[in-house]
Every structure is written in structure tokens, then in C-alpha cells.
Amino acid sequence: MNTIWAPEKQMIDDAALLARVSAMTYAGREPGAQPLVGMLAAISRAILADPRARLASQYIALGYWLRPSALQQLRDDLVKQTNDSGALLAPRGVALHLPPTNVDTIFVYSWALSVLAGNANVVRLAEKLTADTEWLVSLIACVVAEHGEDERQLFCSYPYGDAFEQRISRQCDLRMIWGGDAKVETVSRTAIRPDGLSIGFPDRKSLSLIGVDSYARADEKARDELATQLYNDTYWFDQMGCGSPRLVVWIGEKSDTLSDDLYARLGKAVAAKKIAVETGVAIGKMALANDLLAEGVADRLRFFSNELVVVDIVDPVVGLERTHGGGFLGEYTVADIADIANFTTRKVQTLGHFGFSSEELKRLARAISGRGGYRIVPIGQALQFDVTWDGMELFVHMTRRITIWETSWKQAALLQTPVS
Amino acid sequence: MIEALRLAIEAEPYSLAQPVHQANLLVGLNELTAHHYDTCAAYRRIVNGAWGGRTRFERVEDVPYLPVSLFKTQKLQSVPDEEVRVTLTSSGTTGQAVSRIFLNKDASAMQQRALANSLMHVLGKQRLPMLVIDTDAVFKDPRMMSARGAGVLGIMRYGRNHAFALNRDLKPNFDAVRAFLKEVGGQPFFMFGFTFMVWINFYEQFRNEGLDLSKGVLIHSGGWKKMIECSVDNVSFRKALKDAFGLVRIHNFYGMVEQIGTIFLEGAGGVMFPPNFADVIIRDPITWRPAPLGQPGVVQVLSLLPHSYPGHSLLTEDLGVIEAMEQGHRSVDGWMGKGLKILGRVPKAELRGCSDVISAVA
């Protein structure tokens, strides 16, 4: 059975759900229309006003990302795309969002951008949601209903893999698939509209890059600040986000003293936040560390605590494939920032950095170009969502352009002539 | 066979008091750590990477341990391939990885001798007639052959004149059980089965049959997960068997394929004791230091048996507690050492994006 938030959660049968989606085909609106901005701003206010959001930084981050000034900036970015060409920006149509289960705010980012782009949206949520996700979906569905947008914005859940999924998909002009490689592959087998666009956002792994010399020169305060930022990148979403760093790469001459110093500070940040992993997770991390040692992928284990396990990686390509989450970091050292390219595969997403000049960062970008690695951001901002994601301008894919070629002068003359 | 193991096996089973037991164990564990370090490259890399490359330790608790799941993901052996005589695998549902344990000829003989030594403590030196609480199809029918079948077959060598209490569909075979008891004629006999089968397929089927099993010695094992689902703990299990059959000599044991031949056998007070050549350490799941008596934690098992693979010190995924120490006396029914109670499995943990949120709410 399917569920729908209308705005309270209720059951809905296949025919009724399909009818709702079919009715959305021509329901798109003008991209960047002010009422859409207003609705998203109302969601931001509702999130930030709810004491529940205070308990988790990812909800605060989401509320902040949707604040009115930020939305206005997004809207400006969106509409200026067609400023020079004279084309008219149009919504793509019906967008289907398939968010991941591991990062429970992604569905809002994916959906909100598509709302701004003027699309009618179907967000397909997991059949079982955590209490926090339930809260977030209800909150959004209520604001959507208050703004009279509930015909166009549909939050629902239906089973994957049967004929119904095919019929829904057939109605969609855009499909955004967030999740593991296997999910993207499976879902991609189901066709959407023949002229539709399906984009996969599969598994990615991320790194944190730290300049050895810069760290050596940093004072206590700067080092603690870095540890706090690295904590945020690593421990939000249990280190299971695409942008969560899995490997800390020191650039320069290897120094155990500096590395121990960093993890001592990171350990302190972890302790201060009072997070604790379950025993099963701790044993899982121990087991993976032992596997990597046994296979020669790593050659040293530092078990700082159940929450912070660091292995020295010998083979960074394999090290980036064999990750755990919940506070499991690989460590690697290279001499030069451009050496990062040697193990930057298509799977690499975010490169967090500390202690590099903009020239060095550009050199890094040129080195990884054509390989992988789509975001180079300061450590602490690895999980910040952006309109350019996995190397793609999302707004471009979420809209169409109606090109307008003006008539030639002869026809223009004809047009002015009365018919009779 | 290393000398420390020989000494432990030659002593009266379950008889060594802690000081002697620990001293002998430490000598043996150091020797095995060095042996596996020299002969198993993967183990050597682990000891180098995680334990500073040391192979000699002052205390049993300092000896390196491997997470038991490593036998599912790695091929760990300390003998050349051509010497491997038996490859044991753990039970596991289809699609799940199974442990693989490699024994050469010596290791295979050693584990049989060690197991005999432990069982002798409750069965006596003579082999007894044996009632197997299972079906013979479990090892005769190749389609049914499994870790359970291998387990039954392994224990059967310690009994004689075997009878099987269950048919191949696991329904009770009343005639076979009656015929067995008649033939035994009031003399002691040995019973073996997996705990949940003893309960579901034997106790629940035979409880109203008026069987007299007061001369029997039941040895059973296999985890309590299914039993907990039927709300049966060790105390009610023992009481039910006593009430229904007059069966009082009941010994649960704790053991795993990764330390084949080493069994922690239930003795006085319903707790399980390590044999002379093995030990248990309960580790605090946060500090990973040994937990004091009475404090539950993660079970680490140590044994001098694993010579052909580096399994002499393993961190299991079981939770347990040491409830008693040196409870018995050096008499026939004596049980020395740590009295272990198994509390269940470490819960399977799945990392999702929001568990830190949940802990913040809680």
C-alpha cells in the first residue's frame, strides 16, 4: 500500500496516487516565481522555530540554507541563466525525487531547488522513516498545503520494483536518484518519459587535505578550530554522507607528531559532543581495520576510542573503497597537492582543504580534472549542499529553455497588414 | 603440540586454579603468538600494524586478539596449503559469509583429544551408549549436510551404540527412544543435541511420554537466541527437563568453530568453565580493558589449541559475564577458573545518517 502526506500521513491506492501524478503534467510554474520563494522561506521559519531542530545541526543547516536572503540569491542565480540569450526559462515538468536513506535532509535540498525551478514534484520517501524524518516531512507537507501548493508538491511512499513504479516513472520529465550504486542501477532500469532526464547521484567518497607546513605553523586556537570543523564534516550523518571525509591526506613531509596532535584534538571534539557509537559499530571498525592490515591495504592502526579509529593507508584507491563510517578514517601522505590526482577516481566527490593558497587549489583542480572530485571546499563545509552538485549545475537540468527567434523584417511588415 | 598445551591436557580436566592456569596459559599464548607471527603473513601484518609487532607479553590480557569475523573475510592459516587436512566452516544462512578454519593432521588430532578430555569430566572415562537428539539424516544425507551435521558427527565419536531420537523430518521417533532406553537398562548414558532442538523437537514432543532419563547426561549447545524467543532461560530449561524426565545432569557448552575443540562446559551454578588449556576475558565495550567480576562485556576467548591457524585469541561478538571464580573444589565435580554466563549477541548495528540525532534526543 502507498502512503501520502496530505498533509497528514494517510494511505492511498495506486489509482488515486497515479491520478494525482498525472494531473501534475502541466502544473509547472514560472521558474523563480515569488510565491514559491515565499513558501520555501516559510519552511525555513517553521524548521528554525521548532525546538526539535535544535537537537540536530543538520536541520539547523537546512533551515539556514532556506533562509529568505539565501533563497533570493538562488532565485537570482536561476533566472539570470537566460538573461543574455533572450530565451524564456521554463520548468522541466514533473520531477521525481528518490532521496537516500542515509542523509535525511537531502530530499529537501533536491526538492526545494526543483520547486524554485517551477517544477511539479513527486518525492518518493522510504517506507520506514526515522521519527526525525517523519517530523520533517510533516512539517513541510503542512506548509505546502497552507500555500495551496499541495496539488503540485507530492510527498509519498510506494514500493520499488513493481508495475506501479513503472507507471509513475512514465509520467516524469526528470528523475533525481540519490543513493547507493545498486539503487541507482536498479531504479535506472525503469523508464521515465521518452524525453525525460534521469540523473544518478551514486556512492561517492570524500577526502580532507591538510597542508603539513600550514598545520605546523597553526597556533593552538587554529588547530582546535580545524579539529572542530573536521568533526563536523566527519561525524554528521555518521560519516555516511557522500561528502563525509573517509581519508585524511597530509600534503608535505609525513609527521606522526602532527597527526597525533590533530587526532587528540579531534578526539576531544568528539568527547565534547558526547557521541557514542554502539558496540557493534566499534567491533565493525576493529574488524575492518584488521582486514585492511591483513590485506596490506593499511599498515598501522590507531584505536583512539570507539568513536575515532585511524588506519595508515598504503593503497589509497582501495582505502577509499573500503570505508566504514561512524568515525573511521584512513590517513595518507603525499608530497605535493597535485599528487591527489593519482588516486582520484570517478568515485571521489569532495576535497576538503586546510592550509592552501588559491593557486595551489587551482593546481589541484587542474590535476584532478577529467578524473573525479567535484568540490574543493574548506574543511567544515564538506556537507554543505550546493546548486552545483557532483559537477552538475542542477538548475540547468531542472529547467528547459524556450528559444525565441524573432521574425525577419519582411514578415514583420506582413504582420502589420490588416487581414481584410 | 606446544608444551603448555600438553601440561594442560595432562592435568585433570577443569582442575587448574587461576594462578597455575594463568601462568601456563601465558607461556603457551606467547609461544603461539610467536608461532603464528612467523608462519602466517596476514597475522604478522596485523600484529605489526595494531600491536606494535610484539609477540611476548607479561599478562594474558595483553596478548593480541583478532575480531572473530576475520575468519569470514580472510584466509588465515599457519600451515602450507598441502598440509591442510580439514577445512571447517561455520553455520550461516545462504548468502552470508562463513568462517573457514584450516586444520592439518596434528591440529585435527589435537582438537579431538582436547574435546575428549573436556567431555570426560562429565561423561567419565568409559564411552557411554549415546542418544542423539537429532536425525541421522543430518550427516547421512548430503543435501542436509551442514555445520550441524558436522557437529553431531564430531561429538558422536565420544559415545557408542548410537540411537537417534528424531526422524528425518525432525518428528519424534518414539520407538527408537524406547528401544534405546530398554537396551541401556538403567545404566548411565550420554545424550547430545542442539539446545533449541532439545527443547522444541525433544522436550515438547516427549514430555508426556513418561520417559525416565535420570541416568542420562545431556550435553547441549547452540545458542539461546531461539530459546529466548520461546521465553526459555537456562533455569527453566533445566527445571522442565528435570520435571518431565528426571534428567538432572545437564551441561550446556559454549564454543565456536573458530576455536574448534575448546568448550566452556556448564558446571556448578549453571555457569560455564574454560578447560585447562583455555580462558575467557570479558572486555568493557568502551575501554576494551578486562571487566571486573560480575560486570558484563564482550567475550574474548583464548585457547592453546589453535596451532594451524591464528585463532588462539579471539574477540567474539557475544556478550557475557564472569559470575563466579574458583567455584568448585578439586574433586570429581570440581570446576576451577572463571564461571562464564553468555548473555547474548552484541546487537547488529547499522549506521544510518541520523543515529547521533537519536542519541541526542534520548
Summarize pLDDT for A26-46 with one digit per residue, the tens: 999 999 999 999 999 999 999
Question: Do A256 and A135 belong to one domain?
Answer: no
Last residue of a domain, one of B266, B294, B329: B266
User: Residue A318's closest CA among A304, A330, A335?
Assistant: A330
Q: Span A135-163, mean pLDDT?
A: 94
Specify whether the CB–CB gap between A399 and A118 falls below 8 A: yes
Question: How would residue A220 be classed by pLDDT, with cut points 50, 70 and 90?
Answer: very high
User: Phi/psi zone of residue A276: left (φ > 0), alpha (ψ -120 to 50 degrees), beta?
Assistant: beta
- Give the model's pLDDT for residue B362: 22
ipTM, two decimals, is 0.91
DSSP character string of A316-381? HHHHHHS---SSEEEEEEESSGGGGGGG--TTEEEEEEES--HHHHHHHHHHHTTTS--EEEETT-
Residue of B351, B352, B358, B359 to mutate for A, most A C-beta atoms under 10 A? B351
Contact check, Cβ <8 Å, B353/A299: no
What percentage of chain B reaches a pLDDT higher than 90? 71
Question: Do B160 and B286 belong to one domain?
Answer: no
- Give the model's pLDDT for residue B358: 25
User: Residue A178's closest CA among A93, A114, A232?
Assistant: A114
Taking the CA of residue A121 and the nearest CA in chain B, the distance in Å comes to: 24
Residue A414 in domain: no
Other residues' Cβ atoms within 10 Å of the Cβ of residue B116: 17
| Residue A334: CATH number of its domain | 3.40.309.10
A403 Cα distance to chain centroid: 31
Question: Do B332 and B208 belong to one domain?
Answer: no
Domain range for residue B138?
A: 126-266
Taking the CA of residue B356 and the nearest CA in chain A, the distance in Å comes to: 6
Residue A420 in domain: no
Residue B86 in domain: no
Question: How would residue A285 be classed by pLDDT, with cut points 50, 70 and 90?
Answer: very high
Which residues of chain B does A299 touch, with a Cβ-Cβ cutoff of 8 Å? 45, 48-49
Question: Do B246 and B138 belong to one domain?
Answer: yes
Question: How would residue A65 be classed by pLDDT, with cut points 50, 70 and 90?
Answer: very high
Residue B286 in domain: yes
Query: Nearest by CB to B50, which of A58, A239, A293?
Result: A293
Using CA coordinates, name the residue in chain A closest to B41: A294
Residue A416 in domain: no
Taking the CA of residue B362 and the nearest CA in chain A, the distance in Å comes to: 10
Residue B254 in domain: yes
- Give the model's pLDDT for residue B51: 97
User: Residue B73's closest CA among B52, B95, B97, B56?
Assistant: B97
- Give the model's pLDDT for residue B98: 87
Contact check, Cβ <8 Å, A58/B351: no
Contact check, Cβ <8 Å, A56/B356: yes
Q: Span A63-74, mean pLDDT?
A: 94
Residue A215 in domain: yes
Query: Nearest by CB to B353, which of A238, A298, A300?
Result: A238
Using CA coordinates, name the residue in chain A closest to B349: A280
Give the burial class of A227: count Cβ atoms within 10 A of its Cβ; 0-12 exposed, 13-18 middle, 19 or more buried: buried
| CA–CA separation, A291 and A297 (whole Å) | 8
The grid coordinates listed for A81 are 541563466
To which residue does cell 585524511 refer?
A: A248
The grid coordinates listed for B284 are 568493557
Give the burial class of A408: count Cβ atoms within 10 A of its Cβ; 0-12 exposed, 13-18 middle, 19 or more buried: exposed
Contact check, Cβ <8 Å, B347/A235: no
Give the burial class of B104: count Cβ atoms within 10 A of its Cβ; 0-12 exposed, 13-18 middle, 19 or more buried: buried
Question: Do A373 and A239 belong to one domain?
Answer: yes
Q: What are the distances in angstroms from CA B289 to CA A376, B135, B261, B273, B284?
A: 41, 44, 27, 21, 6
Taking the CA of residue A302 and the nearest CA in chain B, the distance in Å comes to: 7
Which residues of chain B does A235 touch, with a Cβ-Cβ cutoff of 8 Å? 356
**Residues of B at the A interface, defined by Cβ within 8 angstroms:** 42-43, 45-46, 48-50, 66-67, 69-70, 73-74, 76, 285-286, 288, 298, 315, 317, 346-349, 351-361
Beta pairing class for A348-354 and A328-334: unpaired
In the A/B pair of chains, how many CB contacts fall below 8 A?
119
Residue of A105, A137, A279, A314 to mutate for B, most B C-beta atoms under 10 A? A279
Is it the case that residue A3 has pLDDT exceeding 90? yes
Question: Do B31 and B151 belong to one domain?
Answer: no
Contact check, Cβ <8 Å, B67/A290: yes
Question: Do A252 and A358 belong to one domain?
Answer: yes
Q: Span A61-89, mean pLDDT?
A: 89
User: What is the Cβ-side half-sphere exposure of residue B206, based on CA atoms within 13 angstroms?
Assistant: 30
Question: Do A116 and A41 belong to one domain?
Answer: yes
Question: Do B11 and B56 belong to one domain?
Answer: yes
Query: Nearest by CB to A283, which of B46, B73, B346?
Result: B346
Alpha helices in A173-255 (DSSP H): 181-188, 212-217, 220-235
Alpha-carbon torsion (A300, B22, B297, B43), positive or negative:
positive
Q: What is the pTM of this model?
A: 0.90
Contact check, Cβ <8 Å, B285/A326: no
Sequence-separated (6 or more) residues with CB below 8 Å from residue A370: none
Is it the case that residue A279 has pLDDT exceeding 80? yes
Is it the case that residue A147 has pLDDT exceeding 50? yes
The grid coordinates listed for A386 are 550546493
Contact check, Cβ <8 Å, A237/B353: yes
Question: Do A97 and A33 belong to one domain?
Answer: yes
Question: Do A117 and A236 belong to one domain?
Answer: no
Question: How would residue A314 be classed by pLDDT, with cut points 50, 70 and 90?
Answer: very high
The grid coordinates listed for A54 are 535544535
Question: Do A95 and A29 belong to one domain?
Answer: yes
Going residue by residue through chain B, which has 362 residues, state the pLDDT in tens, using 9 for 90 and above. 899 999 999 988 888 888 899 999 999 999 999 999 999 999 999 999 999 999 999 999 999 999 999 999 999 999 999 999 988 888 666 667 889 999 999 999 999 999 999 999 899 999 999 999 999 988 887 776 677 888 888 899 999 999 999 999 999 999 999 999 999 988 999 999 999 999 999 999 999 999 999 999 999 998 777 888 888 889 999 999 999 999 999 999 999 999 999 999 998 778 999 999 999 999 999 999 999 999 999 999 999 999 999 999 999 999 999 998 776 544 446 788 899 999 989 988 777 542 222 222 22
- pLDDT tens across A232-263, in order? 999 988 898 899 999 999 999 999 999 999 99
| Residue B51: CATH number of its domain | 2.30.38.10
Residue A234 in domain: yes
Last residue of a domain, one of B233, B266, B299: B266
Question: Do A199 and A209 belong to one domain?
Answer: no
Question: Do A17 and A108 belong to one domain?
Answer: yes
Residue of B357, B358, B359 to mutate for A, most A C-beta atoms under 10 A? B357
Question: Do B262 and B275 belong to one domain?
Answer: no
- Residue B188, φ and ψ in degrees, nearest 5: -60, 145
| CA–CA separation, A372 and A348 (whole Å) | 5
Alpha helices in A125-219 (DSSP H): 131-146, 163-169, 181-188, 212-217
Residue B54 in domain: yes
Question: Do B245 and B150 belong to one domain?
Answer: yes
Question: Do A196 and A222 belong to one domain?
Answer: no
- Give the model's pLDDT for residue B104: 93
Question: Do A371 and A289 belong to one domain?
Answer: yes
- Give the model's pLDDT for residue A104: 76
Question: Do B248 and B310 belong to one domain?
Answer: no
Residue A382 in domain: yes
Instruction: Tell me which of B138 and A191 has the higher pLDDT.
Output: A191
Using CA coordinates, name the residue in chain B closest to A241: B353
| CA–CA separation, A239 and B185 (whole Å) | 66
Beta pairing class for B216-221 and B189-194: parallel
Question: Do B303 and B193 belong to one domain?
Answer: no
Query: Nearest by CB to A278, which of B76, B349, B361?
Result: B349
Question: Do A278 and A226 belong to one domain?
Answer: yes
| Residue B200: CATH number of its domain | 3.40.50
Which residues of chain A does B296 touch, with a Cβ-Cβ cutoff of 8 Å? none
DSSP character string of B195-235? HHHIIIIIIHHHTTS----TTEEEEEES-SHHHHHTT--HH
Contact check, Cβ <8 Å, B50/A303: yes
Question: Do B164 and B290 belong to one domain?
Answer: no
**How many domains does the structure of chain A reveal?**
2
What percentage of chain A reaches a pLDDT higher than 90? 81
Last residue of a domain, one of B266, B292, B318: B266
Query: Nearest by CB to B46, which of A235, A290, A303?
Result: A290
What average pLDDT is seen over chain A?
93
Question: Do B252 and B227 belong to one domain?
Answer: yes
**How many domains does the structure of chain B reveal?**
2
Contact check, Cβ <8 Å, B351/A103: no
- Give the model's pLDDT for residue B332: 43
Contact check, Cβ <8 Å, B349/A277: yes
Q: What is the largest CA-CA distance in chain B?
A: 65
Residue B77 in domain: no
Question: Do B143 and B223 belong to one domain?
Answer: yes
Contact check, Cβ <8 Å, B50/A237: no
Contact check, Cβ <8 Å, A294/B70: yes
| CA–CA separation, A184 and A204 (whole Å) | 12
- pLDDT tens across A165-175, in order? 999 999 999 99
Domain range for residue A60?
A: 2-203+390-402
Alpha helices in A153-219 (DSSP H): 163-169, 181-188, 212-217
Residue A418 in domain: no
Using CA coordinates, name the residue in chain A closest to B71: A291
Residue type (1 letter), B257: V
Residue A365 in domain: yes
Please give the angle made by the CA atoms of A60, A399 and A200, to the nearest 5 degrees: 65
Contact check, Cβ <8 Å, A280/B317: yes
Query: Nearest by CB to A104, which of B317, B351, B354?
Result: B354
| CA–CA separation, A115 and A33 (whole Å) | 10
